[in-house]
């Protein structure tokens, strides 16, 4: 009887592990879709205009750019991390003017 109980516990435990892995995969897919839905596509950090990077350096000293995205209108969504550990996203135009913070 003990063996049956232990086998049942291991079986349920393994099913839970697979369910958690599937949820993590779905969360990554949902995040990717969210970026695609708002019209932004990921670009390399080298593609970010100098005006945008200088605006971030001026207004957020010590901030580092983690990711950058661009849409068809020429707006850039830039994900930044600050020195204190906080992070956020900025939406700016090609000239470095903030559209949304």
Domain spans of the chain, in order of start: 1-37, 40-101
Of all residues in the chain, the percent with pLDDT exceeding 70 is 61
Question: Which residues, in sequence order, are CB contacts of 81 under 8 Å at separation 6+?
Answer: 63, 64, 66, 87
Whole-angstrom distance, CA of residue 89 vs CA of residue 93: 13
Range 40-101 classified under CATH 3.40.605.10: no
Check whether 10 has a pLDDT greater than 90: no
| Of 33-37, 59-63, 79-83, minimum mean pLDDT range | 33-37
What is the value of pTM for the model shown? 0.61
Structure tokens that stand for 65 in this block: 């750019």
């Amino acid at each position: 009887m003990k063996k049956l109980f232990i086998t049942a516990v291991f079986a349920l435990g393994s099913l839970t592990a697979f369910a958690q892995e599937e949820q993590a995969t779905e969360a990554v897919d949902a995040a990717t879709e969210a970026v695609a839905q708002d019209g932004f596509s990921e670009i390399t950090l080298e593609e970010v205009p100098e005006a945008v990077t200088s605006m971030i350096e001026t207004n957020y000293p010590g901030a580092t750019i983690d990711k950058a995205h661009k849409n068809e209108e020429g707006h850039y969504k830039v994900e930044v991390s600050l020195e204190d550990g906080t992070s956020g996203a900025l939406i700016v135009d090609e000239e470095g003017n903030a559209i949304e913070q």
